[in-house]
Structure formats: C-alpha cells, structure tokens
Amino acid sequence: MTMNDHPTVKQHYRKMENVQRSDVSILDTELLRDRCLHAGADDVGFVSVDRPELADQREEILNLFPGARTLISFVCRMNREPLRSTARSIANSEFHHVLDTVTHIGHQIVKELEEHGIKALNPPAGFPMELTRTGKAWVISHKPIAVAAGLGRIGIHRNVIHPKFGNFILLGTIITDAIMTSESHPIDYNPCLECKLCVAACPVGAIGADGHFNFSACYTHNYREFSGGFTDWVESIADSKTSKEYRAKVNDAETASMWQSLSFGANYKAAYCLSVCPAGEDVIGPFLADRKNFFQEIAKPLQDKKEMVYVVPGSDAEEYVKKRFPHKQVRPVSNGLRSKSIRSFLAVLPHMFQRNQAKDLAATYHFTFTGEEEAQATVVIQNRTLSVKAGHIGDANFQLIADSQTWIRLLAKETGILSAVLSGKIRTKGSLNLLKDFRRCFPS
C-alpha cells in the first residue's frame, strides 16, 4: 500500500476538498475575547508581533515561534487578602492556585485554536524556564506584552498594574500564527499612584523612593527558594562535612522550607510590594477613604513582622535591613547568580550594581576579553550610577585584559586573582584599589 492509499491520508484529502485554503487565518477579536473570558481569564488583549512597542521583544518571540503574528495577553485576578497576609504560606498558596489557572486557560485556548487548524502555543507564566540558556532563562517576557495589549502599566515596583484589578494579577501569553480583526492598545495613563507604600514595605529596600530598583536585593531575598538560592543551598550541603556543620549554616526551619518548595512549588519570601499596592479601581477605595488606617492595616504588619531576611554580604540590602528593620534577622547568603559567559557578565552588571557601595567611586574601566570569547567593553561608575557600553570609549582609569574563561572561573570563585595574574591570564593597568572598588559594587 502506498502512502496515498492509506486511510488517514485519503480521509484528509477528502476533507480538504471542501475547505477553502488560505495561508493566513483571520480571527474575530470579539469572539476570541469571549472565548478567553469564558475559559476563566479576567481580561484579555491582542497585539501584533510587529507593533513598535514590542521591537525589543520581537526576535525573542520569533525564535520561540517563527510563524508568530498575534500575541494574546490575558490576566487572572488574585484574591487580595491572602496576598496581604503575614503568613506567607497563605500568600503563596494563592500564587500557586492562580498560576495553575493561568496555565489551564492558556492550554484550553491553544487546544481550541488547534482544533480550527490554527497554530498556537502558551509559554509558561513563570517556571519552568530554560535554565541552561545563556542570558534570560524565561522564554518570553509577559510584562511588556501585557502593557502593549492594554492590560496595564508598570508601576515603580516593576509589576504590571491593571486599571481595574490593580497589581493583584498574574499574566499569561498565547502566541498564534493567526491575524485578528482588530488590536488592543496601551492604556493612556499609569494606574500607579506613586504612593511609595511598596517602598515602605519592601524588607530589603529594593525599591527606591526615587524610582531606582535593586534587582539583586529583590532576587536574593524574595526568590531565595528559586534557582539561585537553591544553588546556594545545595552548595551549603556539599561543603558540609557533617550534619552538625550543615545545621550551623542552615537551620531546621530553612531546610523544611526548601522541602516545602520542592514538594509544593517554590515560595516567595515577601512580594510585599504587591500586598500593599492600593492602585486599581477595585482596590483604591479603602486607601482613599483613610490612608493612615490603610497603612496601619496593610503595610505595618508586614513591616513589624519578625522574619529572616536574605542578603548578600556587603550589599546595599544588608545595610538597609540593619538600619531600617533591626528587629528582622539578617541572613547573609550568596544569591547563586554566576555568569556563564562574558556576554552574560556584561549584561547582568546593571542588575547587580549596588549604588550605595559606589557612592565615592568615579572611574572608567576598559575590559578586554581574549581567548574563547573575545569582547571589549567600557564600564563607567560615577555619581552612584553605572553605564556599560561595547568597545573602548574615552580614557580609562583602569584597564583589565583577561582570558575569557579564566575570568568566568574567577567570578565563580573557582580560581584566585593572584594565580590568574601570575599565570598571565589576567593583566591590569592602573591602581589595584580601583579593581577592589569595582568588585565592592557587585557583591554576589
């Protein structure tokens, strides 16, 4: 029997005889919106992959789904009171439950589109991620897509704030090769009130009153039981010769908490910025009625909570917690973040920069990397700010020439600076104090 005589093949050709062929599927926006809402989404928007707002995301999207034409962005509302609870087990149960809902909705819509011959996929709303990838571990950035699709704007706490539900939402995205009859557009205002309650509630000072965001501080504490903190925990086990030595590094409650995350899903340590945010039509009433009472009921219990706060030694977060929340226990740890390439090292510098550690530093650094991964870069630190640019620009106060793999091993603490210099793998020009100052700005 030839393939053309196979029953499945013959049935397909009979079916296609009565179908009008088209290279592009066009979907009615309102019908698909109704389907998404019926599936459980609380709001939905549609945006073309060619929209200017997604210019910096387009390559990432097309690499993931080469035929992408339209992005379906949707939100699911979380219950507010569980997230505001000082018992974080309650808050995390809410996160996990709604995250499962987001995954189910994405799966259901993709299934329905597929039944109509339309290609679509729904990337994870959070974890799992492609942790072996160089650079970003997440395969798609939900926040800029949601903003482009009119589902909110980014607040000073770096979360999407929906105009109605506030920041009590989780985001989902569906990518499809279909074209919609109409598109959504960004809302014309930012729901963020800039009330600074998120600044007041954050236990590690990750959100500055001036809008600055300390990624390292947030990642180290709030995401302690995610990939970076988990790596640090595993290394604590590996480095301990006895159970007694392990318990001196990690107490029983921390071990049990890691077990909970492994068993039931990783738990956020804080996310207080979400808890206290009063933005959004459904949320703002009690805040406007009595701001003092809102603070006392929502933010103050989180501030007063006695808890363990994870910080990198020598970081701005460590300094902040000791000064602002002396009743909270400072727990020095590594955040587990290690660059696997020169490209990722340069890309992550702005996220790891500790501006308070750089308050007296004004210097220009020229980096030259040789060997397996060649690159040149200029890093300028002044006025507590950082800039990283490709190539050598201007005059340098300090120059470093390094074999790329040796530098990566040095960052991972697999080799020492002295042996690297003696072997000629790293060469410097300028005061070594400037190198010490540089490393002080990026504790890990």
Q: Say if 14 falls within a structural domain.
A: no
Q: Say if 30 falls within a structural domain.
A: yes
Q: Say if 358 falls within a structural domain.
A: yes
Which of 180, 213, 244 delimits the end of a domain?
A: 180
Q: Same domain, yes or no, for 132 and 157?
A: yes
Q: Say if 120 falls within a structural domain.
A: yes
Query: What pLDDT sits at residue 215?
Result: 95
Q: Same domain, yes or no, for 172 and 225?
A: no
Domain with residue 398: its CATH number is 3.30.1050.10
Q: Say if 51 falls within a structural domain.
A: yes
Which of 124, 148, 180 delimits the end of a domain?
A: 180
Q: Same domain, yes or no, for 174 and 27?
A: yes
Q: Same domain, yes or no, for 164 and 110?
A: yes
Q: Same domain, yes or no, for 165 and 210?
A: no
Query: What pLDDT sits at residue 22?
Result: 53
- In this predicted model, what pLDDT tens digit does every residue of 92-117 receive, in sequence order? 999 999 999 999 999 999 999 999 98
- In this predicted model, what pLDDT tens digit does every residue of 156-173 receive, in sequence order? 999 999 999 999 999 999
Query: What pLDDT sits at residue 60?
Result: 92
* Structural domain count, the chain: 3
Query: What pLDDT sits at residue 20?
Result: 52
Q: Same domain, yes or no, for 52 and 176?
A: yes
Q: Same domain, yes or no, for 124 and 218?
A: no
Mean predicted confidence (pLDDT) in 40-44: 98
Q: Same domain, yes or no, for 121 and 55?
A: yes
Using the predicted structure, report yes or no on whether residue 8 has a pLDDT greater than 70.
yes
Q: Say if 433 falls within a structural domain.
A: yes
Query: What pLDDT sits at residue 84?
Result: 97
Mean predicted confidence (pLDDT) in 9-31: 75
Q: Same domain, yes or no, for 241 and 319?
A: yes
Mean predicted confidence (pLDDT) in 61-89: 96
The pLDDT confidence band at residue 202, using thresholds 50, 70 and 90, is very high
Q: What percent of the chain has pLDDT over 70?
A: 98
- In this predicted model, what pLDDT tens digit does every residue of 316-351 receive, in sequence order? 999 999 999 999 999 999 988 888 899 999 999 999
Mean predicted confidence (pLDDT) in 64-73: 96
Q: Which residue has the higher pLDDT, 386 or 16?
A: 386
Q: Same domain, yes or no, for 294 and 435?
A: no
Using the predicted structure, report yes or no on whether residue 21 has a pLDDT greater than 60.
no
Write a three-state SS string for the chain: CCHHHCHHHHHHHHHHHCCCCCCCCEECHHHHHHHHHHHCCCEEEEEECCCHHHCCCHHHHHHHCCCCCEEEEEEEECCHHHHHCCCHHHHHHHHHHHHHHHHHHHHHHHHHHHHCCCCEECCCCCCCCCCCCCCCCCCCCHHHHHHHCCCCEECCCCCEEECCCECCEEEEEEEECCEECCCCCCCCCCCCCCCCHHHHHCCCCCECCCCCECHHHHHHHHCCCCHHHHHHHHHHHHCCCCHHHHHHHCCHHHHHHHHHHHHHCCCCCCCHHHHHCCCCCCCHHHHHHCHHHHHHHHHHHHHHCCCEEEECCCCHHHHHHHHHCCCCEEEECCCCCCCCCHHHHHHHHHHHCCHHHHCCCCEEEEEEEECCCCEEEEEEEECCEEEEEECCCCCCCEEEEEEHHHHHHHHCCCCCHHHHHHCCCEEEECCHHHHHHHHHCCCC
Q: Say if 287 falls within a structural domain.
A: yes
Using the predicted structure, report yes or no on whether residue 19 has a pLDDT greater than 60.
no
Domain carrying residue 125: 21-180
Which of 275, 308, 332 delimits the end of a domain?
A: 332
Q: Say if 11 falls within a structural domain.
A: no
The pLDDT confidence band at residue 444, using thresholds 50, 70 and 90, is confident
Q: Same domain, yes or no, for 30 and 161?
A: yes
Using the predicted structure, report yes or no on whether residue 361 has a pLDDT greater than 60.
yes
- In this predicted model, what pLDDT tens digit does every residue of 132-147 receive, in sequence order? 776 688 899 999 999 9
Mean predicted confidence (pLDDT) in 243-264: 95
Q: Same domain, yes or no, for 252 and 360?
A: no
